[in-house]
Amino acid sequence: MPYSLRRILTGFGMWSSNPAAFIAVSAYAAAWLAFDRESFNWHALATLATWTMTLFIQRAQHRDTQAIQAKLDELLRVHGDARDDLMNIDDQEPEEIERHRNRARA
């Protein structure tokens, strides 16, 4: 997968955990009602409910990940023998982090 596409997907994942994503789903629902009211049925409600629940789950996972990262950052900061390069590893792409973990295990 090209590097730029991975970066876009990571950015989209972070954006989807933002409260503004709920506004986007609400705007989509309003546009659906405004332009195609006759197709807005129980299936449409189920679709919107699924999207909304996905956003709730994404937000909770993002919050948990950020909390874990903050705790780990604090532990690395106070531990004198910790390597400085690990403090900013969360700025890298997931594939880069996996490569780092694989090198550390070897």
Higher pLDDT, 3 or 93: 93
Count, residues in the chain:
106
Count of the separate structural domains present in the chain: 1
Whether the predicted pLDDT of 6 surpasses 70: no
Q: What is the mean pLDDT of the chain?
A: 81
Please give the pLDDT value at position 46.
Answer: 94
Structural domain span for residue 65:
3-105
Dist CA 75 CA 102 (whole Å): 22
pTM (two decimals): 0.62
Confidence of residue 18 (pLDDT cuts 50, 70, 90): confident
